[in-house]
Amino acid sequence: MEDGTGLIEVKQWLEMETITDDNPKKNIDITPDTYVRVIGQLKSFNNKRHIYAHHIRPISDLNEVQYHILETTAIHLYFTRGPPQNNDSSKPFTTIDRNSSNYGIHDPMNINEMLGAQFSLRNLSPYLQKVMAAVHAAPNTNEGVNIHQLAKTIGGGNIERAIEELTNDGLLYTTIDDEHVKSTIQP
């Protein structure tokens, strides 16, 4: 896969029983030189990086391609030059006051503003917002957060279904096994 910023190999493992004529969602034909959206996890094997894809879908709206180009440019500029400076006091919502007592990584609005996340956490259900807040509140380790610990912390709801939905949306990814997750939105 190549997006103008570099070339990377994408791998997706499919179970044979899921690829049938009865299940067209799993039987998507992707040909070379086709624009696709890939949601996955960056992995390394034999010192070669690849993306382990959880979900691949063809892009039908070319505006999504342009959005991706603008997004990668904005992220590159954010990490090389820092956040944009705004001297216009009439638009206070476009900057982050890091000295404010309201500033916190657990507030979904601040996470979106701080990282310019394309997926607004405010569009999630209240339960999924609680799951994301609990993931961000947990200690930041390489192993991530155990989903059983998340279930104890949050209580109620179907944590496995929530984790699967957040993973499919590209907001969480599995780490050392299928029972440990980390957020793709790192504060």
Q: Please list the pLDDT of the chain residue by residue as tens digits (187 residues).
A: 888 778 889 888 876 655 555 555 555 678 888 899 888 888 878 878 888 888 888 888 889 889 888 888 888 887 788 777 766 555 544 444 444 444 334 444 444 444 444 445 667 788 888 888 888 888 888 888 888 888 888 887 788 888 888 887 778 888 888 788 888 876 5
38 domain-assigned: yes
Q: Say which CATH number the domain at 157 has.
A: 1.10.10.10
Domain edge (last residue) among 24, 39, 58: 58
pTM of the model: 0.43
Domain count, the chain: 2
How far is residue 182 from each of residues 135, 146, 166, 174, measured CA to CA in Å? Answer: 7, 9, 11, 6
Q: For 111, what's the count of Cα atoms within 13 Å in the CB-facing half-sphere?
A: 21
Domain residues for the domain of 38 are 9-58
